[in-house]
Amino acid sequence: MSRKNEAPTRKLIDHVAGADEVGSPSAFLATTFDLQPDFFESDYLPTLLRIPAWDDHRFRARVQLEAALAKTDAGVVLMEASRYQGRPRSLRLHLSPASSGNGGVLHAKVALIVHDDAVRLIVASANLTKSGYRENREVALSLVATCKRKEEGVLIQQALRAMPEVLAPWWNDAAARAVKAAQERLGAWDLPTASEDDAFVWGGSERALWQQLVAAWPEGEALTGVRVVSPFWSDEGDEGALGRLLRGLQARRVKTDGAKVQLVTAATPDTARSYLPTLPPSYGAFDFRGLGVSVTAVAAQPQVDAEDVGRDDILRERTLHAKVVILEGRTTSLAYLGSANFTFPGWGFGNAQRANIEAGVILRRTGKARAALNALVPPTAGEPVRLEGGGTVLLGAPEPDTVPVDWPAFMKAAEIRPDHDDPVGRVELSVRLGERNLPTRWSVALGPDVEPVFEGPARASDERVFRLDANGLQRLLRNQAIYLRWEGMREQGAVAFPINVSLPVRERLPFGDPEALPREQDLVAFYQGRIAFEDVFPPPADESHDLSSEGETGDTSTVDTSKILSYQVRSFVEALPGIRDELARNTGTASAIRLALLGPVSPVALAREIEHAVKSGRSATAACFQLVELLRCISAAGRIEVDARVREAWTLAVGEAASQIQAAVDRLRNADASQLGAATPFGRYASAVLVPAKGDAR
């Protein structure tokens, strides 16, 4: 399987959005060792969701991001708990920090992105950080599968099959939805059988990563060369990583004597223009000739490549963070690229069960196709250093920073979900414990400086459920965390543990100030096409609002017509075609459907404002006329042809919207039967226009 993208990707952020023809994502899932919340929310997500001119400090931009996330069926990040620095602000994103519990860490870096007619998987060495996606020298492979381009779907499918088991400590409903959406796309395309030359591999499972690489090498073909690219290295010796890899090959009757090994490392300045390879001192002390191979080490070029920026005078350096291993024979080249450093935890040398959870792709090439793998190795700087013992001076490279932090490893999840026993529709907080690392006692509070809502013993797989009043809910939405204390913690203060929200609650999250919902005139202006979605929401009182031409309602007259009924009704009628068009445009995902039909900018939201206007003096007859016309729009929407994948969600949402608006009509008519009853002119009009047409979803 030959592909053009077998090359190190310099600025990964340029590849996040994908080709123009794939469109915006309907679901996505990413795994990472490290996460910078500000980078992820202000750079990665706007790029992925194709939001132009992002400005994190403007309220309008925040609404734009929330709206894009609300239209996805799942958005989830799984990360290593020891690196947790806080969650992104949007609760429409599901964040799951956890630890494996076996001593290894979640070090895999993959991004699954599902589109209407494509599934993408980015397999990379980069964390979800600014340095990873914009600065470091990284490596990545971007796999794309469509109904016409199926071969790369085989690798994506391999990754997805093992994902729930490999990532079990992090797994959740949002992750399952993203993977299910991808599998449904791939399952509809009649993918070819697995390739003999390419494989997606996970580390941290029963079969170590190095064993999977060795097994892919042609049995009996002699090894002539090895190239290893890694920023971090374990100490080397007779039982070091390189020696174990070579012995694993020898066990498969692979001749390794005489092979030439090149180690490409991070660069340490030696002089103003010279660099030394950065390795632990043991690499300089050990004579690799005893393994029957010759080994040299060389620094990866730290300068920014001229082709990256179109100029050659950039002084900033790029840190090596790519991870590549290439085995070479006379006829075959075998390459691994992915997240694993050439260390014991990365490759599973020794105890595979205590290895990191890694991810990567193995590519096997023969003939002229082998040349493409050379691009996976970055350019080098400085003279190569022969590793023949004698204490050659090489500067030590530390392992990735895993400074112990106080983290509630006993926690499984904290989620806001509907309170199904409450007819008013309130919500509750579910706090679930895992099975390991249980403290003797623990407590949970809704804020850093408030009294705990629970304090007591910890039991395996325990769940604590707390009903939330308005103040408690607002506190959680503001802090986006619960606060935990437990016996044995090192710090005195409470530790923040991120909360998530279930899908039904996610649909009800405010886009701005929950006390300042869109007004009727704003909703009408939106459906008339006079303002954008994000301009419907009033900004917080403490934020200035840029009333640009696109943010105004478009009414330039000097007469205030907002309270004149005839103007209101006329504007409403003019908005009806826009309502129908907006519903037809938002049928890509179940979440987009529910947002358009039932969300804060929807016919249901407009119906609530119309019913409320009756309390402020509008005639019930005028309001009922508007509501009946909204029902006609919903009835027409029921006849729209939608994709089979969302047909059930569409039918349910249309029915729910119709039911809610019909209930508003019934309340008004029951309150004024003399003017709106069945025998009145309005009653005859309503009966005539609301006769369900054949095939209506009512």
What per-residue confidence (pLDDT) applies to 86?
Answer: 92
What per-residue confidence (pLDDT) applies to 313?
Answer: 46
Domain-located, residue 71: yes
Same domain, 431 and 461: yes
Give the pLDDT confidence of 656-665 residue by residue, as tens digits. Answer: 999 999 999 9
Same domain, 191 and 207: no
% of the chain exceeding 90 in pLDDT: 66
Domain-located, residue 1: no
CATH of the domain at 458: 2.60.40
SS (H, E, C) 370-390: HHHHHHHCCCEEEEEEECECC
Q: 395-399, 452-456, 542-546: which range is least confident on average?
A: 542-546
Question: How far is it, in rounded angstroms, from Cα 286 to Cα 677?
Answer: 95
Give the pLDDT confidence of 122-139 residue by residue, as tens digits. Answer: 999 999 999 999 999 999
What per-residue confidence (pLDDT) applies to 551?
Answer: 41
Q: How many domains does the chain have?
A: 4
pLDDT at residue 400 above 70? no
Question: Which region, left, alpha or beta, applies to residue 165 given φ > 0 means left and ψ of -120 to 50 means alpha?
Answer: alpha
pLDDT at residue 8 above 50? no
Domain-located, residue 401: no
Q: Regarding beta strands 74-80 and 94-98, do their DSSP bridges make them parallel or antiparallel, or are they unpaired?
A: parallel
Give the pLDDT confidence of 156-175 residue by residue, as tens digits. Answer: 999 999 999 999 999 999 99
Question: How far is it, in rounded angstroms, from Cα 469 to Cα 210?
Answer: 53
Domain-located, residue 661: yes
Higher-confidence residue: 423 or 304? 304
Give 298's strand partners. Answer: 264
Domain boundary among 162, 180, 195: 195
Give 76's strand partners. Answer: 29, 94
Domain boundary among 173, 195, 217: 195
Query: For 376-388, what is the mean pLDDT?
Result: 92
What per-residue confidence (pLDDT) applies to 547?
Answer: 41
Same domain, 478 and 606: no
Same domain, 121 and 187: yes
CATH of the domain at 220: 3.30.870
What 3-state DSSP class applies to 45?
Answer: helix
304 φ, ψ to 5°? -70, 130
Domain-located, residue 392: no
* Residue whose C-alpha is closest to residue 198's, from 357, 368, 366, 30: 366
- Which residue's entry shows tokens 């696109």? 550
pLDDT at residue 650 above 80? yes
Same domain, 150 and 182: yes
Same domain, 363 and 478: no
Same domain, 179 and 236: no
Higher-confidence residue: 280 or 562? 280
Domain boundary among 167, 195, 223: 195
Residues 6+ apart with CB under 8 A from 643: 116, 587, 588
Give 225's strand partners. Answer: 260, 328
Give the pLDDT confidence of 255-280 residue by residue, as tens digits. Answer: 999 999 999 999 988 876 788 899 99
Binning pLDDT at 50, 70 and 90, where does residue 378 land?
very high
Give the pLDDT confidence of 39-93 residue by residue, as tens digits. Answer: 999 999 999 999 876 666 688 888 999 999 999 999 999 999 999 999 999 999 9
CATH of the domain at 59: 3.30.870.10
Q: 29-33, 550-554, 606-610, 683-687: which range is least confident on average?
A: 550-554
% of the chain exceeding 70 in pLDDT: 89
Cα 190 from chain centre: 27
Q: Is the pTM of this model over 0.85?
A: yes
Same domain, 253 and 362: yes
Same domain, 366 and 466: no
Domain-located, residue 625: yes
Give the pLDDT confidence of 311-323 residue by residue, as tens digits. Answer: 454 456 889 999 9
What per-residue confidence (pLDDT) applies to 552?
Answer: 42
Binning pLDDT at 50, 70 and 90, where does residue 243 land?
very high
Domain-located, residue 655: yes
Mean pLDDT of the chain: 88
Same domain, 154 and 21: yes
Same domain, 47 and 183: yes
What per-residue confidence (pLDDT) applies to 398?
Answer: 54
267 φ, ψ to 5°? -100, 135
Domain range for 373: 201-386
Domain-located, residue 694: no
What per-residue confidence (pLDDT) applies to 510?
Answer: 85
Give the pLDDT confidence of 183-219 residue by residue, as tens digits. Answer: 999 999 988 887 889 999 999 888 899 999 999 999 8
In the structure encoding, which two tokens stand for residue 47, read together? 């790029």
Question: How far is it, in rounded angstroms, from Cα 417 to Cα 467?
Answer: 10
Q: Is 597 exposed, middle or buried (0-12, 13-18, 19+ CB in 10 A)?
A: buried
Same domain, 267 and 131: no
Residues in the chain, how many? 698
